[in-house]
């Protein structure tokens, strides 16, 4: 989709002249990249086009490979300057990885790169959502108090399905990167706001439902 995005990578290693597929470090000779924090975006750190569709397994493999190269005990050696550099690169790599591997964080990040709005700039959700959330929250409370694990399980599946629909909307909107009008960006922000509600409801339903129901019963 984003194939016409002008690639800034790969660049050549200053030491061994090999093509580097990440500015973090040269995989061939282990030379560390020199990054000021804001030079490269998270996609560029992984040598990727800016696109919502990320191969998470490939991302993970690359993360492990780069982590090995820049591990402070390996790359840092004795020199404290190099060690500090390795630590900084490591922190940036971790941050980029956490952002790109999670589809919601990735979409939110792409939205921020495109100019927002941010969560604090736009808090809107559909009117109907808040009422729906309230009803579900009460249903969860009630089921927990009466020790009804079956109902909790049903509610959990219902919310998970709603969350999935929201996640798919987020994906559809984030894939429209090339024509990100202000309207699409606001729609994406709204869906990102909505998914927080589903996440927080799901957090109210503990993993062990039978246990939760018993605890709920005991607590009242």
11 touches Zn ion by CB under 5 A:
no
Q: How many residues bind Zn ion (CB under 5 A)?
A: 8
Binding of residue 16 to Zn ion (CB under 5 A):
yes
Least Cα distance to 177 among 10, 54, 24 occurs for: 54
Cβ atoms < 10 Å from Cβ of 163: 18
Where does this chain touch Zn ion (CB under 5 A) — which range of 21-29, 144-152, 178-186, 189-197? Answer: 21-29
Q: How far is the CB of 26 from Zn ion (least distance, A)?
A: 3
**CB of 139 closer than 8 Å to CB of 151:** yes
Among 29, 54, 105, 113, binds Zn ion (CB under 5 A): 29
Burial class (CB in 10 A: 0-12, 13-18, 19+), 23: buried
Residue 31 binds Zn ion (CB under 5 A):
yes
Task: Provide the token pair at 192.
Answer: 């990102």
User: CB of 18: closest distance to Zn ion in angstroms?
Assistant: 5
3-state secondary structure (DSSP) of residue 181: coil
Question: Whose structure tokens read 């009460």?
Answer: 138
Q: How far is the CB of 150 from Zn ion (least distance, A)?
A: 60
Is 26 a residue that touches Zn ion (CB under 5 A)? yes
Kindly state whether residue 114 participates in binding Zn ion, applying the rule CB under 5 A.
no
What are the C-alpha distances in Å from 77 to residues 84, 90, 132?
Answer: 11, 15, 57
Q: How far is the CB of 88 from Zn ion (least distance, A)?
A: 19
Q: Which of 59, 77, 71, 72 is nearest to 21 (CA)?
A: 59
**Choice between 14 and 39, CB closer to Zn ion:** 14
CB of 21 to Zn ion, least distance (A): 12
Integer Rg of the chain from CA: 22
Distance, CA of 116 to chain centre:
16
Q: How far is the CB of 86 from Zn ion (least distance, A)?
A: 15
| Contact window for Zn ion (CB under 5 A) among 24-32, 85-93, 101-109, 130-138 | 24-32
Cis peptide leading into 166, omega within 30 of 0?
no
| Closer of 79 and 160 to Zn ion (Cβ) | 79
Pick the stretch among 30-38, 97-105, 173-181, 187-195 that binds Zn ion (CB under 5 A): 30-38
Residue numbers of the site for Zn ion (CB under 5 A)?
A: 13, 15-16, 18, 26, 28-29, 31
């Amino acid at each position: 989709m984003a194939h016409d995005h002008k690639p800034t990578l790969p660049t050549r290693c200053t030491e061994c002249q090999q093509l580097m597929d990440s500015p973090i470090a040269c995989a061939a000779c282990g030379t560390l990249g020199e990054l000021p924090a804001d030079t490269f975006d998270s996609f560029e750190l992984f040598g990727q086009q800016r696109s919502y569709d990320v191969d998470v397994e490939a991302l993970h493999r690359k993360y492990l490979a780069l982590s090995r190269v820049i591990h402070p005990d390996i790359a840092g050696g004795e020199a404290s300057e190099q060690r500090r550099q390795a630590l900084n690169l490591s922190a940036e790599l971790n941050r980029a990885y956490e952002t790109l591997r999670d589809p919601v964080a990735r979409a939110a990040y792409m939205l921020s790169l495109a100019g927002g709005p941010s969560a604090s700039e736009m808090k809107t959700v559909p009117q109907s959502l808040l009422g729906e959330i309230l009803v579900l929250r009460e249903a969860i409370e009630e089921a927990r108090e009466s020790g009804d694990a079956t109902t909790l399980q049903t509610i959990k599946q219902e919310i998970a399905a709603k969350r999935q629909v929201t996640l798919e909307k987020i994906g559809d909107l984030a894939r429209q990167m090339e024509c990100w009008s202000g309207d699409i960006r606001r729609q994406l922000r709204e869906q990102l706001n909505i998914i927080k509600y589903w996440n927080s409801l799901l957090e109210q339903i503990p993993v062990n439902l039978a246990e939760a129901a018993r605890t709920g019963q005991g607590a009242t």
